[in-house]
Every structure is written in structure tokens, then in C-alpha cells.
Amino acid sequence: MQKNEKSANEIALQNVYQSAKMGTDAIAKLMPKVQNEQFKSAMSAQLNGYQGFIKEASDKLTAMNKAPEDAGLLQKIPADIGIIMGTAMDKSDSKIAEMMINGSVMGLSEIKKTMSHGGIAPDTEKLMSAVVAFEENNINNLKSFL
């Protein structure tokens, strides 16, 4: 049982790490397209939050003698293509906010799905709950830029 708990815990931490990493990558690609300083400020705050989650998940994985793993190409390529295609014809704040909301919804769904499997250490569950609250807040904040 202990081994399964550790395995579930590692999966959960990798999920947090990958989700936050994809968020930072997306923001890095989208931010140069944004002109509105208020929107850039909101994006910077979101970026800082993701970076904090990356560090916390990395630290917990390192303590387990595990290395953080980036998302696979099957996750990264569609995200990159989505950013390119989504902003090819429309670089408006509204379009970028919509894309970021969609990304947050996908990350939120993955985290909640992982949480529902159980076997996760209380400190990791607390981290995941913080990610859920963070993503929900991001969605609400981004709505003002639609």
C-alpha cells in the first residue's frame, strides 16, 4: 500500500509540475502579443503563481528522489499549434484571454481528475487544492479581458 501511495503521490506532483510548466510556457509565448498593460500585469501575476507551483512540486519530487518530468510532445505540440493558430488571425486581448481561460480549464480538469484517484499525501493534496483555487481565480480574472 505504501508503494502505491508513493506512486499516486508522485503522479500527482508530476501533474502539478507539468500543468504549471505548460502554463508558464504559454504565457511566455502569449505575453509579447499583448499591448494592454493591465492584461500584461495579470499575466505576470499568473506566471509568478505557476513558477511557485513548479518550485514546490519540484522540491517535493526531489525529496522523493524523483526528477520533475516535462509534459510529453503529445501535450506540448497541440498547445503550441493552438497558440500559433489562435493568434494568427486574431491577436486581440479578448482572443488571448479566451485561450488562457481554456488552458486554465484544461489544467484545472487534469488536477481535479488526479485528485479524485486518491492515495495522495496530505501535503500534496494541499498543494493541488491551492492549484485549483489559483486556476479558478485566474479564470475569473481573465474574464474581464474578454
53, 127 contact by CB (below 8 A): yes
Q: Which domain, by its residues, includes 81? A: 2-145
What tens digit of pLDDT does each residue of 40-63 get? 999 999 999 999 999 999 999 999
* Phi (first) and psi of residue 92, to 5 degrees: -70, 155
Report yes or no on whether pTM surpasses 0.95. Answer: no
Overall number of domains in the chain: 1
How far apart are the two ends of the chain, measured CA to CA in Å?
47
70 SS3 class: coil
Query: What is the rounded distance in angstroms from the CA atom of residue 122 to the CA atom of residue 38?
Result: 36
16, 53 contact by CB (below 8 A): yes
What angle in degrees, to the nearest 10, is found between the helix axes of 2-30 and 93-116?
Answer: 180
Q: CATH code at 58?
A: 1.20.1260.10
What tens digit of pLDDT does each residue of 72-93 get? 777 778 888 888 888 888 999 9
